[in-house]
Amino acid sequence: MRLWKSFGVSAIGLLWFAIVAGPLARIWPRLLPIVPWRREAGIWFAVVSSVHGYLVWDGWARWDVAGLLGYQLSPETGLYLRAEPGFGLANLLGLVALALGLALAATSFDRAVAFLGVSSWKWMHTLAYAAFYLVALHVIYFAFIHYSPSPVRMTLYEPNPLRYYYIALLVTAVGTQAVAFVMTVSRRRRVGAL
């Protein structure tokens, strides 16, 4: 479990960097040299999150789609019953984010930019923000909800020591985007007024 969690933590950190590098460079122009690294961070997000997904699929779900979606086979009834509400949805959010990440990684090359055209490519890569927010919901579920006591699982787990780190990633991503947006609008209004 620690191994797939460490890959998951690394993946969200890479995706966070990929989406905040641009807004940070807009806020502080001295950070412009980090902007080209967004592409590599996004590609590595796709690679690392693929490893995370594989480790969960192989080590926890054991190649069972129903298990990955939070259902367990009841020996008494022979039916799959939902064992943990929210678990399946959190995993689906992670899978959609992984699919987006793989699509973005597949188009993160100069040939893809030339084929799609710059404006289409840029529009497509705004989906990195959607992937980040899906990953954030996935992570928040597992950091704050999944391992808390429930009627299904009475075992007490230690609180995730990184859970506030995840909140900080989410807050800083939203904050840098908001500040960069306000600064961009303000600059354009000033230039338009001249």
Determine the pLDDT at residue 52.
Answer: 97
The pLDDT > 90 percentage for the chain reads 72
Q: How does strand 71-73 pair with strand 80-82? A: antiparallel
pLDDT given at position 123? 95
pLDDT tens digits, one per residue of 25-72: 999 999 999 999 999 999 999 999 999 999 999 998 889 998 898 888
Given a cut of 80, whether residue 19 has pLDDT beyond it is: yes
The pTM of the whole model exceeds 0.85: yes
Give the DSSP letter of residue 82. E
pLDDT tens digit sequence for 120-148? 999 999 999 999 999 999 999 999 988 77
Tell me the residue range of the domain where 64 lies.
Answer: 2-193
Query: Average pLDDT for residues 159-185, to the nearest whole number?
Result: 95
* pLDDT at position 154: 62
According to the 3-state scheme, what is the secondary structure of the chain? CHHHHHHHHHHHHHHHHHHHHHHHHHHCHHHHHHCCHHHHHHHHHHHHHHHHHHHHHHHCCCCCHHHHCCEEECCCCCCEEECCCCHHHHHHHHHHHHHHHHHHHHCCCHHHHHHHCHHHHHHHHCHHHHHHHHHHHHHHHHHHHHCCCCCCCCCCCCCCCCHHHHHHHHHHHHHHHHHHHHHHHHHHHHHHHC
Give the count of domains, the chain.
1
